[in-house]
Chains A and B, each alone.
Chain A
């Protein structure tokens, strides 16, 4: 079955620690995205990537970093500079070429502070 796999499902971060959230897709989609979801605020875009080895900041990129070394993978690192990291993190992907195709989402990683 094609889809988007996020791991781990739950993650805990200590003060001053960087943590990395995994996102893998086997849909052969070009574009991948990371969103943060907080209660009552909807989804906010952190980073997105249209192609391997290229990515752009979204609306709330501060304190986060990404890489896109493979088409299938788009890991997100939550750095110690992100002072309020507790949230539900969602990865998405979409086709880019020829038309505006909707994004499809994984089942998220819930990050909490210890």
Chain B
């Protein structure tokens, strides 16, 4: 079993829809949770970074962490075609030189 599971999709939704992306994990030692967006042939770009449980909002993006269920989510409101990309969840256990563990990534397409 992988430490971090993420549905690879692809996921296709109409413009303006609310998108929900999710990851589950098995190791309760994970404390730091990240969402990255990756456009084709580019490096991942950090979208959201959270510590422990709760919600964090940044513009149209909301990251949610539920440590009791070992489940994290990224919500995108009023989705735009420019949001079409692969979304990667990542998490780490320790401070210092963090060893990130990534999900497979979910490929998202927003249709105009």
- Of B4, B6, B34, B97, the contact of A102 (CB 8 Å cutoff): B34
Compute the total of residue contacts between A and B using a CB distance below 8 Å: 68
Q: Chain A's nearest CB lies how many Å from the CB of B31?
A: 8
Q: Say yes or no: B43 contacts A107, CB within 8 Å.
A: yes
Whether, in the assembled complex, B46 has its beta carbon less than 8 Å from a beta carbon of chain A, the answer is yes
Chain A, interface size category, equals 20 to 34
Check: B62 CB closer than 8 A to any chain A CB. Answer: no
- Residues facing A in B1-27 (CB within 8 A) are 4, 6, 8
Interface residues of B in 86-106 (CB under 8 A from A): 88, 90, 92, 94-100, 102-105
| Interface SS, B side | loop
Q: Are A108 and B41 in contact (CB under 8 A)?
A: yes
Contact at B43–A102, with CB atoms within 8 Å? Answer: no
B44 at the interface (CB under 8 A from A): yes
Indicate if A43 sits at the interface (CB-CB under 8 A): yes
Contact (A42, B97) CB under 8 Å given A90-B43, A90-B44: no
Given the known interface contacts A50-B97, A96-B96, the answer about A42 and B32 at a Cβ–Cβ threshold of 8 Å is no
Q: A90-B44, A100-B92, A105-B43 are in contact. Are A45 and B49 (CB under 8 A)?
A: no
B45 located at the interface, meaning its Cβ lies under 8 Å from any Cβ of chain A in the complex: yes
**From residue B50, how far is it (CB to closest CB) to chain A in Å?**
10
The distance in angstroms between the C-alpha atoms of A106 and B38, with both chains bound, is 11
Mask of A2-33 contacts with B, CB within 8 angstroms, 1/0: 00101000000000000000000000001101
Known: A100-B32, A102-B46, A107-B42. A42 touches B99 (CB 8 A): no
Q: Are B104 and A40 in contact (CB-based, < 8 A)?
A: yes
Q: A42-B102, A43-B44, A100-B31 are in contact. List 19 more A-B contacts (CB 8 A).
A: A6-B43, A30-B97, A31-B97, A33-B97, A40-B8, A42-B6, A43-B88, A43-B90, A45-B100, A48-B97, A48-B99, A56-B97, A58-B99, A94-B98, A100-B32, A100-B51, A102-B32, A102-B34, A103-B46
Chain B interfacial positions (CB closer than 8 Å to A): 4, 6, 8, 31-32, 34, 36, 41-46, 49, 51, 88, 90, 92, 94-100, 102-105
